[in-house]
A and B are shown apart, each in its own frame.
Chain A
């Protein structure tokens, strides 16, 4: 318990506007902008555009799975290209880019009280390299042989062999080049986010006063900077194997009766490199979602987040632990079986800090004043789907239980629920929450309700039953399930039902996109702080915030981000930059 620092104890802010590159023309204002907020919107728009491609691909996949044999144009080659591009786009080019490049750019400077990112030019460069990566990826749809069909994990040797679509054509090369570009671009942005959080926080904004959104994005960025290099080298090595004939991942191979010119390489080395990146990647997507949803719940339940310090340490602990669990993706890969003991133990340990986060979210609801706004609905739906998907992770993380379930539809259901549906529900909640700050107008409520209910219930009806198809033993990545004896007649009907749900959920996203565009002009005027929230981005003099964010003087922070419903205070929220003591606030420190 620490008393509030009185206002007069803090020296007056004489923070001059730092040197910003102010735009001189339309081009430097809207296109080659160095304003993190514009870059954030560019990142988000690009990620959404390529995400729509992934959505359409998922429809095509579900057409084939739900109604096999009906659509001749979905050949096995095409099907494998669809699943590969869908997976890679969603994980890297949509989720990672949107959370870090989109939300990170928009929210970090505003929430820590900075004028902009620390290196605005590099930040701009980051976006343009990301765009280039997306264009290279998209170009593979038009390349001879089409995009790669190696599965999003790109396991060699098949990824660079003729039996896989794009393996000996352009597909795999464009994929690897695009990933390399993405990582270069991300590193530029990522260094910015980390340095800005560490160096550019405004006066009074101690680390333990940061909103959890910033903690989540910050920790995820640090992790990404450590994890992406593993993917980078794996991509470079595979590119050499494919283009120069080296054998990093290629042992002696007989392909269709012919000896290949490779020898001595290790396919499993690629898997280790891939998952050393790939598992932290799950949390690179999850931690920003954890942070954001904490702030949504707290704001809309008008109650401080429960156990703030525990929440921070849980984020940091999960981030650290996630680097020692990667081989739980490889229990049946043929690695030494004794690794299973170690990785099952670390994996189940990570469940403890994760569970603490869930408890603290629901305990924040307890004795709150819950406003069932659209952002809050999405936050609640996130908890349901995240708990569901997290718990099925305890099946797959427990090495021996993974043996029958690995590589089945159970895995597909699990990771879609936990790192597809759950984080995307947070993204939606976050967009409904911050759209008024970005545009000055509220998103349409009726369309929001429709979008929420169809998306939440539809997605649950897609992925919950899918676990049971996997439990039957139905493998994933099968273009054709009809020849599989474990797949019963009734399971085919269930599959068709899942496909119909997938089309419905996809349709709801089109309503959402329409709402985004429609509300820019027709939405209700929001004012500066429509949710009556405490954090700094809602205290800007202008909405949308101008370049430089805070007008003449940077705000001074006097309290933590969660002074909601302080007993004795006049209002049920006290902004972080409000000086003076109010009621009996008890900031944990």
Chain B
């Protein structure tokens, strides 16, 4: 009796917690509300299954608990029931998988008008590189990394000269424009993660990975590292500011290009 009651309370408590507790996702600031919708579908299907199974158990425990003289039924198999349950389960699983795969297809298909931003992770800070007027990022290699060239940009590549380099500072993005984040690391695995954007992806030294999204709200967002990268991992924070187009252009105008940064003698000799 007590056991059945506790099982019911587990279901009721879990459902109440789900709907009433203040702990829910951080408001979204990107185009990926498709992902949020898929989560909601999954919550509903799994929630119903959880409640049904546990309440059924509670009923069985109450109704078929041992009492003097009871005897259990003898029923080794029931083909029809077993097939029926299998098919219903398969339908439920498909109802979650199909929308999931549709959204994944969008997630991996970058729109052709997306602008490119490169993120470079290192223990334990974020740097960024944006293409200059030519719209192209120059090539790069970890072997090129030096104090003067922290991102390892290939100095002999003409496309790289006008790239805007933002070393260990805030990234700004224009609101409403799709952006493809190219992800690179010069030491260990990292993961560029802004909870409000929903998207994230690991960065792997030696490879370039990517994801895309469209920021939909202006504001300041915290960048977190989501892949363990050594003892400084939780301190590897950064800032993304989503600006209006004018603010963005103003910020962009203040940034230095690779060519300007790799001529440090002029800046350095002034002191």
Contacts and interface: CB of A to CB of B under 8 A. Distances in A.
B108 A161 contact: no
Contacts of A348: 93, 96-97
A391 B47 CA distance: 8
A308 B74 CA distance: 13
Interface in B58-95: 60-61, 64-66, 70-78, 81-82, 85-86, 89-90, 93
Contacts of A164: 230-231
A252 B141 contact: yes
Given A267-B206, A471-B24, A494-B23, A369 B226 contact: no
A168 B21 CA distance: 45
Given A332-B191, A475-B193, A304 B42 contact: no
Contact of A267 (B3, B108, B205): B205
A504 interface: no
A352 B7 contact: no
A155 B57 contact: no
Contacts of A360: 82
Interface in A144-177: 149-151, 155, 157-158, 161, 163-165, 167
Given A158-B189, A475-B193, A572-B71, A151 B228 contact: yes
B25 A366 contact: no
A567 to B, nearest CB: 5
Contacts of B266: none
Q: Chain B contact residues (Cβ within 8 angstroms of A): what range?
A: 35 or more
B269 to A, nearest CB: 23
A370 B65 contact: yes
Contacts of B259: none
Most chain B beta-carbon neighbours within 10 Å: one of A254, A367, A481: A254
Nearest to A589: B76
Nearest to B87: A352
Nearest to A330: B202
A310 B82 contact: yes
B137 interface: no
A387 interface: yes
A352 B123 contact: no
B160 to A, nearest CB: 18
Interface residues of A, number: 118
Interface string B181-201: 001001111010101101111
Contacts, number: 327
Interface stretch (B98-106, B127-135, B168-176, B247-255): B98-106
24 contacts: A157-B187, A157-B189, A158-B187, A163-B188, A254-B187, A334-B209, A352-B93, A356-B86, A370-B66, A372-B3, A372-B65, A380-B3, A398-B97, A404-B199, A468-B17, A472-B195, A473-B195, A479-B231, A480-B234, A480-B235, A484-B224, A484-B234, A486-B26, A490-B22
Interface of B: 3, 6-7, 10, 14, 17, 21-26, 32, 34-35, 38-39, 42, 45-46, 49-50, 53-54, 56-57, 60-61, 64-66, 70-78, 81-82, 85-86, 89-90, 93, 96-97, 100-101, 103-105, 107-108, 122-124, 141-143, 145, 147, 152, 183, 186-189, 191, 193, 195-196, 198-207, 209, 222, 224-235, 237
Interface of A: 76-77, 80, 149-151, 155, 157-158, 161, 163-165, 167, 251-257, 259, 263-268, 301-304, 306-310, 332-334, 337-338, 340-341, 344-345, 348-349, 351-352, 355-356, 358-360, 362-363, 365-372, 377, 380, 383-384, 387-388, 391-392, 394-395, 398-401, 403-404, 406-408, 457, 460, 464-465, 468-469, 471-473, 475, 477-481, 483-486, 488, 490-491, 494, 562, 564-567, 572, 584-588
